């Protein structure tokens, strides 16, 4: 197998969502019948450990409304610019993400290099992860064979499972609230696990040898 394409998620992969998540948790905790912020976070971690949608699980448990996701609080991850530039020397790069239409321009303004050949964004395509059609659309747009492509993301449910289902290799980036997830519970776990974007090159070398 020869890896030719790398596809990245955005949230908690290329951007740090810490402030955005805390803003949502804070607004959620203000609702009638809602537990404290600390409890919401603890229960989200527990849900993530069960490979569930962490925020949805808390909302359903307490009958809460969905608080706004404040995209403007997202920040580019410090390791993203250097990592993607280095990887672009060996691979073609793409994006598969549940994001608003202007997300890439915002990331470019924040300092992300313009090195992505294909961007499959949910609000532009009308398809949302974990819908496998979004992954197939990205692959078709790239003219890439799934066996020669790797998906990199922080969520097992939204990134790893659907990417594996369409035949891609996968790298789980273990950070953010979904770092508590349990890949051992999956029928088909990720091909590699990393804790930063800087570790991806070594992970790809290991995958390419298999």
pLDDT tens digit sequence for 153-208: 999 999 999 999 999 999 999 999 999 999 999 999 999 999 999 999 999 988 87
Give the pLDDT band of residue 210 (cuts 50, 70, 90): low
CATH architecture of 5-16+74-209: 3-Layer(aba) Sandwich (3.40)
pLDDT at position 24: 98
Helices 200-209/80-88 angle, 10° precision: 40
Q: Residue 194 is encoded by which pair of tokens?
A: 């990393």
Determine contact, residues 208/1, Cβ cutoff 8 Å. yes
Helix or strand (DSSP H, E) at 95: strand 92-97
pTM for the whole thing?
0.95
pLDDT at 125 over 70: yes
178, 63 Cβ separation under 8 angstroms? no
Q: For the chain, which residues make up each domain, given as ranges? A: 5-16+74-209, 18-71
Ordered alpha helix ranges (H), 50-95: 54-62, 80-88
pLDDT in the model for residue 206: 86
Each residue of 66-85: pLDDT tens digit? Answer: 999 999 999 999 999 999 99
Position 130 scores a pLDDT of 96
The answer to whether 122 and 97 have CB atoms below 8 angstroms apart is yes
So what's the pLDDT on residue 1?
66
């Amino acid at each position: 197998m020869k890896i030719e394409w790398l596809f990245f998620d955005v949230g908690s992969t290329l951007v740090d969502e810490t402030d955005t998540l805390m803003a949502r948790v804070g607004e959620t905790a203000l609702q009638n019948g809602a537990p404290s912020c600390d409890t919401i976070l603890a229960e989200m971690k527990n849900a993530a450990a069960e490979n569930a949608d962490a925020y949805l699980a808390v909302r359903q448990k307490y009958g809460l409304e969905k608080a706004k996701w404040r995209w403007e609080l997202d920040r580019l991850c410090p390791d993203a610019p250097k990592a993607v530039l280095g990887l672009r020397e060996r691979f073609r790069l793409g994006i598969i993400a549940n994001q608003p239409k202007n997300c890439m321009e915002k990331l470019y303004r924040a300092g992300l290099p313009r090195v992505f050949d294909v961007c499959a964004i949910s609000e532009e395509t009308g398809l949302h992860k974990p819908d496998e059609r979004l992954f197939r659309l990205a692959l078709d747009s790239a003219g890439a064979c799934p066996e020669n492509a790797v998906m990199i993301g922080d969520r097992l449910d939204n990134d790893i499972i659907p990417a594996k289902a369409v035949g891609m290799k996968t790298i789980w980036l273990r950070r953010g609230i979904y770092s508590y997830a349990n890949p051992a519970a999956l029928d088909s776990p990720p091909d590699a696990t990393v804790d930063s974007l800087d570790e991806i090159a070594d992970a790809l070398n290991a995958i390419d040898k298999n």
